[in-house]
Chain A
């Protein structure tokens, strides 16, 4: 697609429930990223995929959070036993993989999925 698409745009759930958030990256982008943005804060890194595999999952806060990208395109962020502190906007981004200066890749972000845990 033309941009990074995230669904749902808004999700309200009850404490303890399971939630899935979906990200459809830009076609041809091999790298996919998940970030979390709490109110009044900057985005916080969660996990990064290069192709189908998680290249860096050091930002996942605990084992309730899990993400997959089985075919190297669409990714799903899964949150088990949600807590009120999980309420935030979950941002997905994608990028091309650069051969040089790979750390300087520009991320294209989606509009985010706003999660509210009651």
Chain B
């Protein structure tokens, strides 16, 4: 069965410091991996995805994520956090043979960036 784990309910970072939001996954076959962000009262917004190729994926708003097959991880990173990055972040996975619609989401990690 496919699954995603986000081990941290909340991550606190000072503005200007690097941030990491962790994600591990379990899937049959090669994974398609995604990060979405959710701001209050707004829909989930796509940040980045990994399909194949380079393990380091760059996305919107200066975010990047590193795919690590041996550790089955896809951690989200940003070199310098902004207060405006404070939001709820979701990691999601779909297996290679899985239904196109059935994207499995983690429970989310709340990122809080303090000035």
Contact = CB atoms under 8 A, between A and B. Distances in A.
Contacts of A4: 43
A42 B90 contact: yes
A42 B43 contact: no
Given A101-B51, A107-B46, A111-B42, A48 B100 contact: yes
Interface string A1-43: 0011000000000000000000000000001010100001111
Given A109-B43, A109-B44, A110-B43, A58 B107 contact: no
A101 to B, nearest CB: 5
A105 interface: yes
10 contacts: A31-B100, A42-B105, A45-B101, A45-B103, A47-B101, A48-B99, A48-B102, A101-B52, A109-B43, A109-B45
